Amino acid sequence: MKTTSIQSAVALTLLCIGASASAQSSRGLPAGSGSSLSIYGIAATELVNVSNFNDGSRIGRSTRIENSKVTASRLGFIGSEDLGGGLSSVFNLEMGYALDTGTQSNASYFFNRGSFVGLRGGFGTLTVGRQWDVEDDVMSRYFIFGGYGVFQFSEFAAISDTVANSVKYIAPSMAGVTARALYGFGEGSANGHTTEFALNYAAGGPFEAGATWRTQKAATGYSTQLATLGASYMLPATSAGKFRLHGGYAYSKPEDPAARRTSAYDVGVVWGLPSANANITLDYVARDQRGTGDDSRFVRLGGEYFLSKRTSFIANVVSLTNKGNASQKFFGQGAQGKDQRVLSVGLRHAF
């Protein structure tokens, strides 16, 4: 067994022992102490058939078992403690794993999906650690986030990403408007600093809207700015079910003269069937690289059938088109001008 695997196994064992001890300690606390600890996760996998799969040696059709791209498998620990006076401490530790192989989804980071601690009170929530960016917090309602999403495009990965060594603040909601801010320190270097701001409006009605702004300095010394806008509207329910329309726009502006400004668009609909145990999504997503013909677009039709509150079947049909020298992909390494067609079916269980 590799050393990293042994270290990972030991770390997870110690964490579970600690979680058990904490849970036992919580049960022994006086009533009203408000201490809690929960273990949660998702186990999901897909059978995928994909065209133009590039494995580095050949390009062709491939049928494979994959860790689910729709909802990545994960294991997490979340807790809080009531400190009195309306103040609580909070923490979250979450790791991704590949259900198809049983390995960590990211060998470089054990808790690659987040690890933070903080305080929550009347002032809002302040947390420190490795955290999901404010784009992920806000734009998941306006861009499709079911794995086959806009963040798969190379210029827009930051629409759903984590930021290490970051401080994040979420203000209390006022008239349905919530403000967020995040700053990533970049380990004390001028390179890698990340600054983000976001506003989101959600007052419980049919209309929601949000906007974010981000700037990040790369190791080259150049910064890249990313701005996003999004909105969604829930139509009145009918005998045909519930329909939610959503749309998002993103703009990437790099300082590096060798890089191109790029826009991305997402227009879609989520259809909740009258039975309330299934939904269907349809999205059109496009990427426009300014000044070139190297653009990309895809159409995704997805469905989910709930066997219970925790278990569901998932299916997707995705058609990705690359123009010119564009090499965007969902699986494999990608290849210039090569399209991908994806068919997938899977099973997901949340616990």
Any idea where the domains of the chain sit in the sequence? 39-350
Residue recorded with tokens 């986030």: 145
Which pLDDT does position 13 carry in this prediction?
41
Q: What is the largest CA-CA distance in the chain?
A: 66
Q: What is the pLDDT of residue 189?
A: 58
Number of other residues whose CB lies within 10 A of the CB of residue 315: 17
**Which residue in 255, 197, 209 sits closest to 234, CA to CA?**
209
Contact 348, 314 (CB under 8 A): yes
**Residue 184 dihedral angles phi and psi, to the nearest 5°:** -105, 125
> Tokens standing for 283?
């999205």
Q: For the chain, 351 residues long, give each residue's pLDDT as a single digit of tens.
A: 344 443 444 344 434 434 443 333 333 333 345 889 999 999 999 999 999 999 999 999 999 999 998 899 999 999 999 999 999 999 999 999 999 999 998 888 899 999 999 999 999 999 999 999 999 999 999 999 878 999 999 999 999 999 999 999 999 999 999 999 999 998 765 567 999 999 999 999 999 999 999 999 887 789 999 999 999 999 999 999 999 999 999 999 999 988 999 999 999 999 999 987 999 999 999 999 999 999 999 999 999 999 999 999 999 999 999 999 999 999 999 999 999 999 999 999 999
339: its two tokens? 């399209």
- The pTM is what? 0.85
pLDDT at position 7 = 41
How far apart are alpha carbons 266 and 228 in whole angstroms? 11
Measured distance CA(219)–CA(157) in Å, rounded: 17
pLDDT value, residue 5: 41
Structure confidence at residue 151 (pLDDT): 92
- Per-residue confidence (pLDDT) for residue 33, from 0 to 100: 54
DSSP state letter for 22: H
Q: Residue 188 region, left (φ>0) first, then alpha (ψ -120 to 50), else beta?
A: left
What is the reported pLDDT for 328? 96
Measured CA to CA, the distance from residue 65 to residue 51 in angstroms comes to 15
Count other C-beta atoms under 10 Å from residue 72's C-beta.
Answer: 16
SS3 state at 138:
helix
Q: Buried (b) or exposed (e) across 73-110, using 16+ Cβ within 10 A? A: bbbbbebbbeeeeeebebbbbbbbbbbeeeebbeeeeb
Q: What pLDDT shows up at residue 203?
A: 96
Alpha carbon 101 to its chain's center: 21
Q: Would you state the structure tokens that stand for residue 326, as one six-digit string?
A: 């564009």
- For domain 39-350, which architecture applies? Beta Barrel (2.40)
Q: What pLDDT score does 276 carry?
A: 76
Q: How many helices (DSSP H) and strands (DSSP E) are in the chain?
A: 2, 18
pLDDT at 9: 43
Collapsing DSSP to helix, strand or coil, 196 comes out as strand
